[in-house]
Amino acid sequence: MSFFGKKPSRLTQIIILGLTLRLILLFLDFGFDVNNHIVWAKEAIKYGLPGFYERAQVERFTTTYPNYPPLAIFLFIIAYGLYQFVFKATWRVNLWLPLFPSKLVIFLEKRQALAGFMKLPAVFFDLALVVLIYRWIRMKKDKNNIFGPLAAVSFILFNPGFFYNSSYFGQIESIPLFFILLSLYLLFFSKMHERHLQQALPFLLVVGLKDKKFLKAFFYFSLVYFINIYHNWPVPKIIFLENFVNSPMVVNGVIIVSLIVYSWLVANYYADKKTSPSFC
């Protein structure tokens, strides 16, 4: 037992250690691209998000127009807002409390401090990536694994390339990497609901209206969508239809044909993308 109660788990302990390492590096220096992150956040807050990607930035560093995806911009806005909150709070405390260290306020006025705050999203996703990989390894339970989950995630948490890139250089590769692994994790370790197919159908229809050959895929997956729903909830109860959708031949046939159609869609997507970069 620790002084505060229950002793932190081993995973929590190494995450705290990894976070401490990153926080030490956070305010030492930053890559030139972080200037873009600062400008994008400031101008998104000042001028709003409508037309954000079409608007040339007032302050320009390596690029005139924003070229990061919306999620990154939102995270930069949050980081910039957090910096402003901390700076204003520190300034007020310094005015109210004479004993407060004024050098902290002076430090927060420097661009180096602001850059440190802008690197927080990447640091957070570094840690989120570690937790995700830890859960993945624990759920997989592969006897052939040479290392346990804690040792394995340590190779990420204390990998010089990872913490240098996020907490020192200020790049955000850990963010898309997290979502890529999260999608695979959910694919392998969670059950997809039969209703999830509905989310893809409107997009497939839009593509089909531009290219009629994709309408066939839209109608096919619409049928599969109905079969999936009726298979799970056969109402109204029609014996013939219920027996049909529960038939192993139908179930296996739908799986095989769906894989074929999906492969065809992927192949056509890349073929059309080569001939028409604006496709979709």
Q: Residues with Cβ < 8 Å from 24, sequence gap 6 or more?
A: none
- Residue 205 CA to residue 212 CA, distance in Å, equals 9
Per-residue pLDDT reduced to its tens digit, 203-242 = 888 888 888 888 888 888 888 888 888 877 788 888 888 8
Res. 79: pLDDT tops 90? yes
Mean pLDDT of the chain: 83
CB 34 within 8 A of CB 171: no
pTM over 0.75: no
Per-residue pLDDT at 52: 87
| pLDDT (mean) for 23-51 | 89
Residue 2, classed as helix, strand or coil, is strand
Tell me the pLDDT band of 74, cut-offs 50, 70 and 90. Answer: very high
Per-residue pLDDT at 276: 54
CA distances from 241 to 31, 51, 113, 234, 247 (A): 62, 51, 66, 9, 10
